Amino acid sequence: MLGVFRALAQLAPALNVVGLIPACENMNDGQALKPGDVVTSMSGQTIEVLNTDAEGRLILCDALAYAKRFNPAAVIDIATLTGACIVALGAVRSGLFSTDEALAQELAQAGDRSQDLCWRLPLDDDYAEGLKSNFADVANVAGRAGGAITAAKFLQRFTEDFPWAHLDIAGTAWKSGLQKGATGRPVGLLLDYLLAHAATGAGQDAVAAAARGQGAHKAARSSATAT
């Protein structure tokens, strides 16, 4: 995400972009989250913590709620959110989820042009059944099946006030083995999308929000960009 903003500073397109980076410690202590805890999000929704390894989404959802104050034309979050997305798409395409058809198409086209590919996955409401809780408004995880989708359904609860897209980059953000290291994705996709808006003038009055949440012990990165 920082790469996107450094490029924007150098290219200086006629576009308003706001970046949000939520971050917190992810270390054990006497007040660490435990399975069964119920926390209250910034939006006021309560969350039952069923899995403490799904911690990045707990700060990413607050970043999405915070983004509302900028009255964004759209919000795009990026996150190394789920191993399930790696199982589904490998390291070739990022997972794309969106509540807005036009936004989804623009991101997919930007990915094709920049060769920073993504693939759209569904957001059917039936996938949210496993997130229901007897003790809170929502649980932070569902079952194993469709894990990338249920994670996106969790985030969707915090995006009702603006067009939203989520890019799960768990499989594309880095490589392992002899070529291990960060890939820089999806900087290319996001820059292509933003510059296309600037070129058409569509982004003149847009405000974007970007968020990254990072769990320290596994570097679970969560970020959001909005235009």
| Lookup: tokens for 83 | 């191993």
Instruction: Give me the chain's average pLDDT, please.
Output: 89
Rounded to 10 deg, the angle between the 187-200 and 2-11 helix axes is 40
Q: Which domains does the chain have, with CATH numbers?
A: 2-226 (3.40.630.10)
Tell me the pLDDT tens digit for each residue of 100-131.
Answer: 999 999 999 999 999 999 999 999 999 999 99
Q: What is the pTM of this model?
A: 0.88
How far apart are the C-alpha atoms of 52 and 32, rounded to whole Å?
A: 9
pLDDT 10s digits, 140-184: 999 999 999 999 999 999 999 999 999 999 999 999 888 899 999
DSSP string, 191-219: HHHHHHHHHHTTTTT-------EEETTTT
pLDDT bin (cut points 50, 70, 90) of residue 26 is: confident
* 224 neighbors 75 (Cβ within 8 angstroms): yes
At residue 202 the predicted structure's pLDDT band, cuts being 50, 70 and 90, is low
What pLDDT digit, counting tens, does each position of 55-92 carry? 999 999 999 999 999 999 999 999 999 999 999 999 99
Contact 78, 172 (CB under 8 A): no
Q: Return d(Cα 206, Cα 218) in angstroms, integer.
A: 34
